[in-house]
Chains A and B, each alone.
Chain A
Amino acid sequence: MFKLVKTMTSLAALVLASSLVQAQNVTEFAGIGRLATPAEVKAWDIDVRPDFKGLPKGSGTADQGQQLWDAQCASCHGTFGESNEVFTPLVGGTSAKDIETGRVASLTSPNQPQRTTLMKVPTVSTLYDYIYRAMPWNAPRSLSADDTYALVAYMLALGEIVPEDFTLSDKNIAEVQKRMPNRNGMTDKHGMWTVSGTPDVKATACMTNCVAEVKITSTLPDFARNAHNNLAEQDRTFGPYRGSDSTKPPLKALPGANYVANVSTVKTAAPASQTTPAKPAAAASADNAALQQSFTKNNCAACHAPAAKGVGPSNADVAKKYKDQDVLAKLSAKVKNGGSGAWGMIPMPPHPQVPDDEINRLVKWMLTGS
């Protein structure tokens, strides 16, 4: 008995020692931190749980949702939530049968090209929570509670989970939950939720003659050799391990100690503090760099590349189309308020968060050879 008590005591000591600090007498920290006001908690505590705790009162129709969608969501997600251009598709791959069973059959189908949001999401609260807290992408926290109900209703209608004329509200959302196609498709019965969980595989540490024949089952295909750009430029140019020159076929033989890959090796970053004061000629290029940075920072570069067509037209194509035309105001307005998809399926999203001056500067830059 004594031995058992001793063992248990040392076990308890171990448990305590394993946490970072032992239980603190927190009274000595009086005056550090303050009470949150109810208004502050309300402002930040916006999460919505699967049991709908935290869900604001309100409602919205799928029709209203469609209007918001076309204006604010379709540019990334496609008119029907099907687009694969920017993000993985939201809608598709679910069936009436799935709504019955609560398991999405296409998740096991090798023919299903993409796993859409509606195929995976088990809880409708997740859609509400995330749209309300983080969408649209470039202007999060700009949607009202009713807007969010409308958008969720529209998404669910696109997935034929609710009818096209549906009104979603805090009153009926629990009923909608019962129709979520993948509501029974999640499990937390696995060994990876906590440290004490049991792993799902048990390998052994064999030391000799462990496999009869070593077979290579997968290699990088030749066409992908340079898909991550020149690997020689991603490693040191001295020492025992150089990067392979992936712009060329593999070497025919061991290169020997004198090997130097034929690459523009080290890219020197512009020295920070030792630059001479910018001369007028250098000023233009500094300006260009600032514009390039702004172009990236404001996520223009996500869709527009200098010369190649991306989700949107290239800067060169835009410049070519509007050559010698006075379109600065027109295009700036389009950047601010969004466009209709003049260049293809994906319309230009609105950018209300970018200041007007900056939009003007960026458009001018695109038009005059960025």
Chain B
Amino acid sequence: MNPKDLAFQPGKLQKAPENFLSRDFASDLTEKGMDDTRRGFLRNSFFGALAAGAAAGGMTNAARASQGDPAILEKQPWQTTLGQPVAAKPYGMPSKYEANLQRRESPGLTRVSAASVAFTPLQGLFGMITPSGLHFERHHQGWYDIDPAQHRLMINGLVKKDMVFTMEDLMRLPSVSRIHFIECGANTGMEWGNVAVPTVQYTHGMISCCEFTGIPLSLLLDMVGADFTKGKYVLAEGGDGSGMTRTIPMEIARDDVIVAWAMNGEMLRPENGYPLRLVVPGVQGVSSVKWLRRLEVGDMPYGAKDEAIHYVDLMPDGMHRQYTSIQECKSVITTPSGGQQLLTTGFYNISGIAWSGRGKIKRVDVSVDGGRNWREARMESPILTKALTRFNFNWVWDGKPAILQSRAIDDTGYVQPPIRMLREVRGTRSIYHNNAIQSWKVDTNGEVSNVQVG
């Protein structure tokens, strides 16, 4: 750590309270700069606001101006009136001031919202857990809120007994709770050829990380007497209109796959597969089949639509890689990130997330000069296998253009590659599995934008 990084000035005084200015004026001022007219207006508005405060508080303008911040000096309604009772909102919701942070579609990406994506607003999140209501959505034929009393899980194929389980059955069994990321194979897929979208919500927002509770798939496979000699694959099938199917190799199925009913301590949200989904840690999200209704043990891969037409990676020689599954080691800086606006120079806490489908994150490095020089970031605990790891990095911005990057290394020793290296092997048309280093340019005006560097 460079000690200079810590040389920020604490306790800097806010120059003038924002709420003195109308939004129009503040914005106008920012764009056109200060002139006499605006300065005069500003002075009047400042004293006007003080006068209003003074009338209430019985103090003179000058006295108030010298004494400090009205947010402190004036009694605020939340200090002087009775607040709302408990259970005013029986199911709690975020503050109204957080309403800008929502799942959003990327305009023009798809034509039909029932077969589309809503991206997680990573630019506004903290830590490693994605709030349930902001977990990204990807549906293939729309979502349903399925009555759990009517939901069944069937297991058949190369098993001693074809069996059916109700939710009661499954929830009686010994459960586990694990924190894992789910990342769509197409996350960052729009950026293979060039910069295409402005913010981290759209470049990387098809990843979320939650605590899932359910039973290990291996337990169910044991219960039905799966034939592990011949049965090398498990087909997972969803209960939605698309009856979505994906093949999972037995090696993965018996390792850490969860048949899950809960997410972040409550039942799954309908958009995330209520009442039952598969969670296949480290593997692209499409395999974590939602509304899971059937598992079949078989002796060959199934060549389903989402493994023979989609979710196949086109290579430069025209060959497609089929059954690409593992989400390789990747990271991204979430603040400051594309589409954000810095207001002043000085200290910033660069923060981001790192993850690997092969295990734990061992280290994250950050560069503020486009990859010329790197320094190690701080990783927050816990650091879990196939889960997001939050990293932070102290940075004092001097106001000059900067390019921010992060680079993760997992416990297999794999180093997150630059986009150039991936393109050399895979070209620019493979859509899936883009785990390249992301670059954000900070301009002298404080605007951060999405760029790629060579």
**In the complex the two chains form, is A273's CB within 8 Å of B445's CB?**
no
Quote the shortest CB–CB distance from A114 to chain B (angstroms): 11
* Chain B positions 111-151 with a Cβ under 8 Å from a chain A Cβ: 111-115, 121, 123-124, 140-142
Q: Is B241 interfacial (CB 8 A cutoff)? A: yes
* Chain A positions 163-198 with a Cβ under 8 Å from a chain B Cβ: 182, 185-188, 190-197
A122 to B298, CA, bound (A): 20
**In the complex the two chains form, is A86's CB within 8 Å of B154's CB?**
no
**In the complex the two chains form, is A140's CB within 8 Å of B339's CB?**
no
By a CB distance below 8 angstroms, the chain A residues around B206 are none
Q: Chain B 341-353, CB within 8 Å of chain A: the 1/0 string?
A: 1111100110000
**In the complex the two chains form, is B374's CB within 8 Å of A45's CB?**
no
Q: Is A227 interfacial (CB 8 A cutoff)? A: yes
**In the complex the two chains form, is B340's CB within 8 Å of A252's CB?**
no
**In the complex the two chains form, is A218's CB within 8 Å of B252's CB?**
no
* Chain A positions 246-267 with a Cβ under 8 Å from a chain B Cβ: 246, 248, 250-263, 265-267
Q: Is B230 interfacial (CB 8 A cutoff)? A: no
Pick the contact of B294 from A44, A186, A208, A250 — CB < 8 Å? A44
Q: Is B93 interfacial (CB 8 A cutoff)? A: yes
**In the complex the two chains form, is A241's CB within 8 Å of B241's CB?**
no
Q: Is A143 interfacial (CB 8 A cutoff)? A: no
Q: Is A286 interfacial (CB 8 A cutoff)? A: no
**In the complex the two chains form, is B343's CB within 8 Å of A47's CB?**
no
**In the complex the two chains form, is A258's CB within 8 Å of B27's CB?**
no
**In the complex the two chains form, is B198's CB within 8 Å of A224's CB?**
yes
Quote the shortest CB–CB distance from A23 to chain B (angstroms): 7
Chain A interface main SS type:
loop
Pick the contact of B374 from A44, A185, A210 — CB < 8 Å? A210
Name the residue of chain A whose CB is nearest to the CB of B452: A218
By a CB distance below 8 angstroms, the chain B residues around A105 are 318
A203 to B328, CA, bound (A): 13
**In the complex the two chains form, is A86's CB within 8 Å of B112's CB?**
yes
Q: Is B26 interfacial (CB 8 A cutoff)? A: yes
Q: Chain A 200-215, CB within 8 Å of chain B: the 1/0 string?
A: 1111111111110011
By a CB distance below 8 angstroms, the chain B residues around A224 are 198
Given the interface contacts A208-B373, A235-B100, A250-B443, does A299 sit within 8 Å of B403 by beta carbon? no
**In the complex the two chains form, is A268's CB within 8 Å of B96's CB?**
yes
**In the complex the two chains form, is B21's CB within 8 Å of A33's CB?**
no
* Chain B positions 394-414 with a Cβ under 8 Å from a chain A Cβ: 399, 403, 407, 409, 414
A140 to B305, CA, bound (A): 15
**In the complex the two chains form, is A49's CB within 8 Å of B300's CB?**
yes
**In the complex the two chains form, is A20's CB within 8 Å of B216's CB?**
yes
* Chain B positions 33-50 with a Cβ under 8 Å from a chain A Cβ: 33
Pick the contact of A188 from B161, B173, B321, B328 — CB < 8 Å? B321
**In the complex the two chains form, is B407's CB within 8 Å of A195's CB?**
no
By a CB distance below 8 angstroms, the chain A residues around B54 are none
Q: Is A316 interfacial (CB 8 A cutoff)? A: no
A226 to B135, CA, bound (A): 25
A57 to B30, CA, bound (A): 72
Pick the contact of A203 from B369, B415, B449, B451 — CB < 8 Å? B415
By a CB distance below 8 angstroms, the chain B residues around A86 are 111-112
Q: Is B324 interfacial (CB 8 A cutoff)? A: yes
**In the complex the two chains form, is B100's CB within 8 Å of A267's CB?**
yes
Given the interface contacts A21-B176, A192-B326, A266-B99, does A204 sit within 8 Å of B309 by beta carbon? no
A225 to B198, CA, bound (A): 8
A265 to B312, CA, bound (A): 41
A21 to B173, CA, bound (A): 12
**In the complex the two chains form, is A243's CB within 8 Å of B340's CB?**
yes
**In the complex the two chains form, is B296's CB within 8 Å of A45's CB?**
yes
Pick the contact of B101 from A32, A204, A236, A263 — CB < 8 Å? A236
B-contacting 9-mer, from A123-131, A277-285, A360-368: A123-131
A46 to B235, CA, bound (A): 12
Quote the shortest CB–CB distance from A264 to chain B (angstroms): 9
Given the interface contacts A21-B174, A33-B165, A274-B88, does A192 sit within 8 Å of B198 by beta carbon? no
B-contacting 9-mer, from A35-43, A61-69, A319-327: A35-43
Q: Is B422 interfacial (CB 8 A cutoff)? A: yes
**In the complex the two chains form, is A126's CB within 8 Å of B309's CB?**
yes
Pick the contact of B370 from A115, A192, A195, A214 — CB < 8 Å? A214
Q: Is A304 interfacial (CB 8 A cutoff)? A: no
Q: Is A275 interfacial (CB 8 A cutoff)? A: no
**In the complex the two chains form, is B156's CB within 8 Å of A258's CB?**
no
**In the complex the two chains form, is B324's CB within 8 Å of A192's CB?**
yes
Pick the contact of B100 from A130, A134, A208, A234 — CB < 8 Å? A234
Given the interface contacts A34-B163, A129-B304, A217-B454, does A47 sit within 8 Å of B373 by beta carbon? no
**In the complex the two chains form, is A35's CB within 8 Å of B161's CB?**
yes
**In the complex the two chains form, is A231's CB within 8 Å of B199's CB?**
yes
By a CB distance below 8 angstroms, the chain B residues around A317 are none
A232 to B102, CA, bound (A): 13
Name the residue of chain A whose CB is nearest to the CB of B163: A33
**In the complex the two chains form, is B89's CB within 8 Å of A242's CB?**
no
**In the complex the two chains form, is A255's CB within 8 Å of B319's CB?**
no
By a CB distance below 8 angstroms, the chain A residues around B446 are 251, 254-255
Q: Is A240 interfacial (CB 8 A cutoff)? A: yes
By a CB distance below 8 angstroms, the chain B residues around A51 are 300
Given the interface contacts A126-B304, A236-B101, does A203 sit within 8 Å of B320 by beta carbon? no
A116 to B348, CA, bound (A): 47
A235 to B115, CA, bound (A): 26
**In the complex the two chains form, is A195's CB within 8 Å of B282's CB?**
yes
A-contacting 9-mer, from B11-19, B55-63, B71-79, B265-273: B11-19
Pick the contact of A19 from B216, B348, B358 — CB < 8 Å? B216
* Chain B positions 142-192 with a Cβ under 8 Å from a chain A Cβ: 142, 154, 156-157, 161-165, 169, 172-174, 176, 178
Name the residue of chain B whose CB is nearest to the CB of A238: B97
By a CB distance below 8 angstroms, the chain A residues around B201 are 234
A34 to B170, CA, bound (A): 12
Which among A187, A193, A202 has the highest number of chain B CB atoms within 10 Å? A193
Quote the shortest CB–CB distance from A231 to chain B (angstroms): 4
**In the complex the two chains form, is B415's CB within 8 Å of A259's CB?**
no
Given the interface contacts A134-B242, A268-B96, does A199 sit within 8 Å of B450 by beta carbon? no
Q: Chain B 218-251, CB within 8 Å of chain A: the 1/0 string?
A: 1100110000000000010100011101000101
* Chain B positions 84-114 with a Cβ under 8 Å from a chain A Cβ: 88-90, 93, 96-102, 104, 106-108, 111-114
**In the complex the two chains form, is A265's CB within 8 Å of B100's CB?**
yes
**In the complex the two chains form, is A207's CB within 8 Å of B370's CB?**
no
By a CB distance below 8 angstroms, the chain B residues around A231 are 198-199, 339-340
Interchain Cβ contacts under 8 Å between A and B, 14 examples: A24-B174, A49-B300, A50-B300, A185-B318, A204-B415, A216-B453, A219-B441, A219-B450, A220-B198, A236-B97, A258-B15, A259-B341, A261-B23, A269-B93
Further contacts, 13 of them, CB under 8 A, given A20-B255, A194-B252:
A24-B222, A40-B154, A41-B156, A44-B237, A47-B235, A49-B300, A129-B245, A187-B320, A205-B365, A227-B108, A236-B100, A240-B349, A244-B341
